[in-house]
Amino acid sequence: MTNEELWQTALNELELAVSKANFITWFQNTSVADHQDGVIVLNVPNAFAKEWLEYKYHKFILKALRNLSPDVRNVEYVISSEITPLLQKRKRERSIMPQEGQLEFKELLVDRETNLNPRYTFDSFIVGSFNELAHAASVAVSKNLGQAYNPLFLYGGVGLGKTHLLQAVGNEIKKSSLRFKVLYTTSERFTSDLVNFMQSNEAAVFKEKYRSYDLLIIDDIQFIAGKVKTQEELFHIFNYLYESGKQIIFSSDKPPHAINDLEERLKSRFEGGMVADIGQPEYESRLAILKSKSQGKDNYLNLEILEYIASNVQKNVRELEGALNAVIVKSKLSGKTLSIPEIKEILDKNTQPKRIVTANHIIKCVAEFYDVNERTLFEKTRKKEIVKPRQIAMYLLREDYSGSYPYIGQRFGGRDHTTAIHAFDKISKALKRDSQLVEEMRRIRELYNYNSST
Amino acid sequence: MKLNCNKNELYKLVSLAERSTSKNPTLITLSSILLRTNKNRLFVISTNLEVGFEGSLSASIEQEGEVLSPAKTLLSVLYAIHEEDINMYNIGGNLKIISKTSSINLKCLPVDEFPTIPKIKKENHFLISSDSLIEALKNTILATATNYTKPELASVYMFSQGKLPLTLIATDSFRLAEYKTDASYLSLSILLPQKTCQEIIKIFEDFNDDIEVVFNKNQVLFHGRNISFLSRLTEGKFPEYQTIIPKSFDTQVFTDKNQILNAVRAAGIFSSKLSEVVIAVDGDKSILSVKSSNAETGEYESNYPAKISGASVEANFNYHYLLEALQAISKQKVFLGFNGPQKAVLIRGADDTRYLHLVMPMRGN
């Protein structure tokens, strides 16, 4: 008879001996914790039950158990945390329920031991050509800790998913075995930790702590630039972990060689394993991300809206999510699916303010980029090498300068407004399939943003 | 049992004890109150197996004894008696309560069915003034979570380490309240269930005396002059919260508490379905604005000068959260620290380091 069966049978017997109310109050939520050398240890839900069973029912319990298993000599009771107390019914007096759109302290989700946020997993990571390599390397590392690529160094711009990947590796490892000691930290926290330990004269404890991990993840490593002592400590910890076959993962906003004020010996070590970059997501990936993020809350969304957001928010994934959320919140508030102009309005407010540019400036930059004479754009030529820049200029005037179609038509040698509309539509469509064009567009925009800021 | 005592004192204890009874128990004794004499004191005891209450008053006792009386009935009966001086004795299974003008016969329950209140070994204990404890609990309990999916957030975290002040913290993950008391204890880290905190506030509110706190792994006992209150503790670990509290601010605002409190309250009238109000800080003109608009009821806007340093910022908040945070501030001047529209705002009394409140904004549009 297993312990469970033994206790269950004893309970059946006890149920007959005491009143139903007593049985439910005192014996429900009890279980066997241990059975050794004739001593049975029972889990009880609270101190009251412990007291009461010991004081009132001890003899009954012992007798019931002895009848079933003669070797039982004694019964002990422990309060167990595994048995949840009965849920209390709450009064509804103070029930400000969290509202939609209410932001949370993200830090609270974080695991205290590892600093990992369980939200970040490989499953929730969307792979596209822009992050394929980084993703594959991370998965390889998580499958083969310390063996595949050590160290793994990921770099890329803000809001592109570096932290997500780093933490996904940590969570994956944690999931595979609780035995592994994992720490996720940022270089800033690493530094302040070092300072704290040094202040209390416990530098040795600091070393001990960081040397004990099987997987050490340091995010935003570029911030140790210029911090000599931190670099030195990191160098020694790195060597120790590396030599003991422990995995180390770093992330940064730039590749190791581009980090200034970083010791050469660290740079070369960072580059010693695998360096993978995460680029900007292309249109398809952006759309895939939006589709996945909008799952389950897509009442007010349709493909057209997602496509519009994907083609207009280009910089990073975080901004993309922000734009999507803003659209959802606004739709819910107004209780309907928003039109494209309404969405444009939201996006304009949410995305970073554009620099103010003049029409002349845009035209000049387009001409400069395609290396054509500015004046030829206004002429009535249909030459292919002129038509394209002209249409792009028209598109940009509409999009970034918010010129009216008649104005744009007028501007380009007194053309009709329908010409401007045609140009705008054509480029909008082309942008969705032609990544080359997207890149060109990005660089033209960079051109006038750059120029106007100087 | 036979005794004479003051009805008002007894009523006060019974009304407190009644709160710690079980409202619809499987075991009928759990909705009862035990009256027990000992030397020249009358003890009033109740429990719902989550908490245990024990209070005592002085009484002149002729004959020792105990009765188990249904809590609701006893409370109503005592309320109905006008005279202060009452005599009580038990006869058969009944409790007789006699005053100058009335005589009551109350049917009671067998005493031996009543659970014993567990004892805690006095290994870990410290003293705290009731004022300080109540103040700290009142100011933090409002930030506890109202659902029980995460028990550690539906609790107030009581924490002390070495010479650091004993600190109480609560958060429902949308806002956080932290209060530093003047007590301290070598090493303490316990989670008080929200319900327990409410009871402690009720019981010790006008107590004006020191309270001894005794605790072990599972339980805590609050022991005052004539009242002891025992509770289970919430299992689990309170999240690492220190990192949430910002050390620096992009925008700092000093303003009159009542002014902003009134503005927020008024803005609440016109807040949207989501209880959303907008706080706008204009760093250039040193103007603090509180705004709200509702498609059905109208708009509100209030602008007034304030001492502002740093960047301009505009963020949306649930006005209930702002209101509760501001109301908890005891100082006349409040400080608000912002770090952009997506980060929490820190609210505290100007030059007050004891109490702070953090509120996360809502996603704007």
Q: What is the pLDDT of residues B315-327, one digit of tens each?
A: 999 999 999 999 9
Query: Distance between CA B163 and CA B212 in Å, rounded?
Result: 18
Residue in A21, A48, A81 nearest the CB of B118: A48
Is A48 close to B117, i.e. CB distance below 8 A?
yes
Cis peptide before A70 (omega within 30 of 0): no
The confidence score (pLDDT) of residue B359 equals 95
Residue B364 included in any domain: no
- Same-domain status, A264 and A398: no
Of B80, B113, B146, which one is at a domain's C-terminal end?
B113
Find, in chain A, the residue whose alpha carbon is nearest to that of B193. A88
Residue A255 near residue A277 (C-beta atoms within 8 A): yes
If asked whether residues A272 and A288 sit together in one domain, one would say no
Please tell me the total count of domains within chain A: 4
CA B309 to chain A, closest CA, distance in angstroms equals: 23
Q: How far apart are the CA of B273 and the nearest CA of chain A, in angstroms?
A: 8
Return the residue matching tokens 């030529």: A381
For B265-291, the pLDDT digits (tens) are 999 999 877 888 999 999 899 999 999
Residues A379 and A317 grouped into a single domain = no
* Nearest chain A Cα distance for residue B179, angstroms: 18
Which letter does DSSP use for residue B365 in this model? Answer: -
d(C-alpha B10, C-alpha B78), whole Å = 8
Q: How many domains does chain B have?
A: 3
**B237 and B253 assigned to the same domain:** no
Q: What is the pTM of this model?
A: 0.67
Q: What pLDDT score was predicted for residue B132?
A: 93
Phi, psi of B293 (to 5 degrees): -150, 145
Known binding residue A279? Answer is no
C-alpha distance from residue B70 to each of A345, B18, B35, B73 (Å): 66, 9, 11, 6
ipTM of model over 0.90? no
Q: Are strands B298-305 and B219-223 parallel, antiparallel or unpaired?
A: unpaired
Indicate whether A96 belongs to any domain. no
Last residue of a domain, one of A278, A306, A328: A278
Asked whether residue A84 is domain-assigned, the answer is: no
Are residues A229 and A135 part of one domain?
A: yes
| Residue A350 confidence (pLDDT) | 65
Closest by CA to B211, choosing from B229, B199, B193, is B229
Check B360 against A47: CB less than 8 A apart: no
Question: Across the A/B interface, how many CB contacts are shorter than 8 Å?
Answer: 125
What gap in Å lies between CA B230 and CA B47, rounded to an integer? 9
The three-point CA angle B47-B52-B57 to 5° equals 100
Taking only the tens place, the pLDDT of each residue in B333-352 is 999 999 988 899 999 999 89
A245: annotated binding-site residue? no
pLDDT at B209: 93
Q: Closest to B47 (Cβ–Cβ): which among A24, A48, A333?
A: A48
Query: Is B287 an interface residue toward A (CB < 8 Å)?
Result: no
Tell me: pLDDT of B293 over 70.
Answer: yes
Q: Mean pLDDT, consecutive 10-residue segments, chain A of 454 residues?
A: 87 88 87 88 89 89 89 89 46 50 79 82 86 91 88 88 90 85 90 86 87 92 90 92 92 86 89 88 86 74 85 82 82 79 79 66 87 86 87 87 84 87 89 82 75 36
Domain boundary residue, one of B210, B242, B274? B242
Contacts of B147 (CB under 8 A, 6+ apart): B154
- Domain shared by B354 and B279, yes or no: yes
How many angstroms separate the CA atoms of B13 and B1, rounded?
Answer: 19
Q: Which residues of A touch B342 (CB under 8 A)?
A: 103
Q: Are residue A232 and residue A339 in the same domain, yes or no?
A: no
> Is A161 assigned to a binding site?
yes
The answer to whether residues A119 and A185 belong to one domain is yes
Looking at the DSSP bridge assignments, the partners of residue A391 are none
Q: Find the domain containing A404 and state its range.
A: 359-453
Q: What is the mean pLDDT of chain B?
A: 92
Answer yes or no: are the C-beta atoms of B226 and B57 closer than 8 Å: yes
Is A414 within any annotated ligand binding site?
no
pLDDT higher than threshold 80 for residue B73:
yes
CA A14 to chain centroid: 53
Q: With respect to residue B118, please indicate whether it lies within any of the assigned structural domains.
A: no
Give the end of a domain, one of A325, A350, A375. A350
Q: Is residue A120 part of a domain?
A: yes
Confirm whether A90 is domain-assigned. no
Please report residues of A whose CB lies closer than 8 A to that of B235: 81
The predicted pLDDT at position A90 comes to 42
What's the CA gap between A347 and A337, in Å, rounded? 15
Range of the domain at B354: 246-359
Query: Would you say residue B364 has pLDDT above 70?
Result: no
Same domain, B51 and B103: yes
Q: Are residues B107 and B31 in the same domain?
A: yes
Show residues of chain B in contact with A54, CB under 8 Å.
none
Domain of residue A427, CATH code: 1.10.1750.10
Which pLDDT does position B99 carry in this prediction? 94
B149: contact with A, CB 8 A cutoff: no
What is the per-residue DSSP string for A12-81? Answer: HHHHHHS-HHHHHHHHTT-EEEEEETTEEEEEESSHHHHHHIIIIIHHHHHHHHHHH-TT--EEEEEE-S
Here the CATH number for the domain that contains residue B233 is: 3.10.150.10
- SS3 state of residue B142: coil
A376 membership: H or E segment, kind and range: helix A374-378
- Indicate yes or no: CB of B320 within 8 angstroms of CB of A47: no
| Terminal Cα-to-Cα distance of chain B (whole angstroms) | 70
Q: Does B258 touch chain A (CB under 8 A)?
A: no
Residue B294 falls inside a structural domain: yes
Instruction: Determine, yes or no, domain membership for B234.
Output: yes
Question: Which bin fits A371, alpha (ψ -120 to 50), beta or left (φ > 0)?
Answer: left
What lies within 8 Å, CB to CB, of A3 at 6+ separation is A32, A35, A40
> Do A136 and A239 lie in a common domain?
yes
Domain boundary among A327, A350, A373: A350
Residue type, B234: T
Give the closest-approach CA distance of A426 to chain B in angstroms.
Answer: 30
pLDDT at A95: 46
Q: Determine, yes or no, domain membership for A34.
A: yes
Distance from CA of A314 to the nearest CA of B (A): 19
Q: Which residues in chain A have their CB less than 8 angstroms from residue B52's CB?
A: 48
Q: Would you state the pLDDT for residue A357?
A: 74
pLDDT at A98: 57
Could you tell me if B302 lies within 8 Å of chain A, comparing CB atoms?
no
Q: Are residues B151 and B230 in the same domain?
A: yes
B141 and B97, same domain (yes or no): no
pLDDT value of residue A297: 67
Residue A425 lies inside a defined structural domain of this protein: yes
pLDDT value at position A126? 85
